[in-house]
Amino acid sequence: MKICVTGCAGFIGAYVVTCALRAGLSVVGVDNLSADYDVRLKEWRLKRLLSEPGFRFCRTDLTDSSAVRRRMEKALATDGRAGAVIHLAGRVGLRRSLEDPSACYESNVGGTLNLLESCRRIGVPRVVLASTAAVYAEPQGQDALPEMLPDAVGMFGQPSVDSPYAASKRAAEQLIHSYYTTYGIDAVVARLFTVYGPAGHPEMSVFRFVRAISGDEPVEIYGDGTQRRDFTYVEDVARGLVAATRLPGFHVVDLGTGTPIALLKVVDALGAIMGRTPRIRYLPAHPAEVVDRGADVDRTEGILGWVAATPLDAGLRQCVSWFEENRGWVTSLNLGEPYHTERIAPDR
């Protein structure tokens, strides 16, 4: 079976490609190598994937409908039609969406629509959408989640979301559902929680925590640090997304551990692993962030047969090990303004 992974050079996407290849699938990876964060991380991930048998890269921007027709559709139809698409490409981040909501919608909604139209035209039978736990509105706690995870018929009758990012992902979910009901394209909406792991997104908390502690710099915490997140190891998430390509029909699942952890506890755990005492700098809480967030693991296990398997301590140790092994270039990564390069060829 051949599958397509959009956003293949992204943090989660690169792991999904590796997981699929290990499962014996061939993969067409699609990415535009956007400069929304330092592209050297994307290049590092992609370089490793290009050495893998069974992987082909197609550089395409999903927001460009003509390029999608001209390049991606050809790649998906070559040597047999793709059996599924795992869709991870898009703009991420609550704060970024507040700064540039138009780009967020263009990527997450427009790009998803172009992808679905391609699937309809060339007959791709199944799509897995990587959505986000941000679509769950407050009040948000682990005990509230079962009531906020209705079945496919009522999944969109939920309270209003609290950021353009969450709204864009909710809209993408609606598009996926509409193509299921109208064109019969099977789909899984996988709502991801706080995904972490080696070579992670440089704006995410674990990456920043490790880098700050390693450099004996203050760890910046927005709020008082008691806010909890469902930290889920990236390889577990990749395994769940690949497994979802086998589900018929339409489903909504959470990919998380079900056990939210306070940010300060994660900082303390990293300090213990690294043999350092973290220094904390508290900053004002961001209004778009929620306090508690945890996955409904029983529902996911029942539908997908998937559970997260990596303990937090083991996952954090992998993050620290990767950082130390790649310290020479990782410490120079730009965590602020985007860094742009054109060193990767369009296709292989």
Instruction: Please give the pLDDT value at position 336.
Output: 57
Q: Give the C-alpha separation, 175 to 299, whole Å.
A: 23
Question: Would strands 228-229 and 261-262 be described as parallel, antiparallel, or unpaired?
Answer: antiparallel
Q: Give the C-alpha separation, 219 to 209, whole Å.
A: 6
Q: Would you tell me how many other CB atoms lie within 10 Å of the CB of residue 40? A: 17
Q: Whole-model pTM?
A: 0.90
Q: Give the C-alpha separation, 127 to 161, whole Å.
A: 24
CATH fold of 2-330 reads: Rossmann fold (3.40.50)
- pLDDT beyond 60 at 308: yes
**218: DSSP letter:** P
Q: Give the C-alpha separation, 263 to 92, whole Å.
A: 20
Is the peptide bond prior to 139 cis by the omega test (within 30 degrees of 0)? yes
Which residue shows structure tokens 């991870």?
88
**191: DSSP letter:** E
Q: Give the C-alpha separation, 204 to 132, whole Å.
A: 14
- pLDDT beyond 60 at 348: no
Instruction: Please give the pLDDT value at position 59.
Output: 96
Instruction: Please give the pLDDT value at position 162.
Output: 65
Among the ranges given (78-82, 89-93, 99-103, 129-133), the one the predictor scored with the smallest mean pLDDT: 99-103
Across 315-329, average pLDDT? 96
Across 305-317, average pLDDT? 98
- pLDDT beyond 70 at 141: no
- pLDDT beyond 60 at 342: no
Q: Where do the structural domains in the chain lie, given as residue ranges?
A: 2-330
Catalytic annotation, residues: 165
Which residue shows structure tokens 């602020």?
336
Among the ranges given (167-181, 227-241, 276-290), the one the predictor scored with the smallest mean pLDDT: 276-290
- pLDDT beyond 80 at 2: yes
- pLDDT beyond 60 at 341: no
Instruction: Choose between 264 and 293: higher pLDDT.
Output: 264
- pLDDT beyond 70 at 194: yes
Instruction: Choose between 149 and 334: higher pLDDT.
Output: 334
Angle at 236 between CA 231 and CA 237, to 5 degrees: 75
